[in-house]
Amino acid sequence: MTRHLLSLLVFLTIVMGGGIAIGIATAPGEWYGGLIKPAFNPPNWIFGPVWTILYVFIAIAGWRSWQRDRNGRAMKVWYGQMFLNFLWSPLFFAAQRIDLAFGVILLLLGSITVFVALTWDQDRPSAILFLAYAAWVAFASALNGSLLFLNGVNG
């Protein structure tokens, strides 16, 4: 039991710690503030609480998959989506590459969908946690695409 809780804490620390570190390092600045935003753009304060909850969901789903099969397809897809997730902010905010970030977020949404499909029958709770993640990333994809359309490749 203790070993399981320790491994869950490791997942939570890596996912949340990585997400928080990247969020701080690539915080929206003047460039983002100057972009033309679509009408459905949420207020900036909403992103922190949403991502905090989602990172908990992502960590739990990853931990559950890791417990089931550390080298399985679902776990490989989980690692891939985590890489894409952590790549998006540096591309979008630091490099100011709305176009590349849009490609990454679409790949992220695809990998989340694959994870859901792979876990649906064997681990429904993980799949459901990722459905919430998929919904937010679908919204974020629409937002990223709109920002690309309204502002061009580099805003």
Q: Could you read off the pLDDT of 78-122 as tens digits, one per residue?
A: 999 999 999 999 999 999 999 999 999 999 999 999 999 999 999
* Residues 6+ away with beta carbon under 8 Å from 125: 61, 64
Query: Average pLDDT over the chain, rounded to whole?
Result: 95
Q: Could you please report the per-residue DSSP string of 4-33?
A: HHHHHHHHHHHHHHHHHHHHHHT---HHHH
Domains contained in the chain, number: 1
Task: Kindly indicate the confidence band of residue 3, based on its pLDDT and cuts at 50, 70 and 90.
Answer: confident
Domain that holds residue 116: 2-151
Closest CA to 74 of 30, 107, 15, 123: 123
Give the CATH number for residue 95: 1.20.1260
Dihedral of CA 91/22/131/12: which sign?
Answer: positive
Q: What percent of the chain has pLDDT above 70?
A: 98
pTM of the model: 0.94
- Please report, in angstroms and rounded to a whole number, the separation of the first and last CA atoms in the chain: 50
The C-alpha atoms of residue 139 and residue 124 are separated, in whole angstroms, by 23
pLDDT at 16: 95
**Residue type for position 119:** T
Give 24-66 pLDDT, tens digit per residue: 899 888 999 999 999 999 998 999 999 999 999 999 999 999 9
How much is the average pLDDT of 129-147? 98
Q: Could you please report the per-residue DSSP string of 83-121?
A: HHHHHHHIIIIIS--HHHHHHHHHHHHHHHHHHHHHHTT
pLDDT of residue 1 exceeding 70, the answer is no
The C-alpha atoms of residue 92 and residue 142 are separated, in whole angstroms, by 14
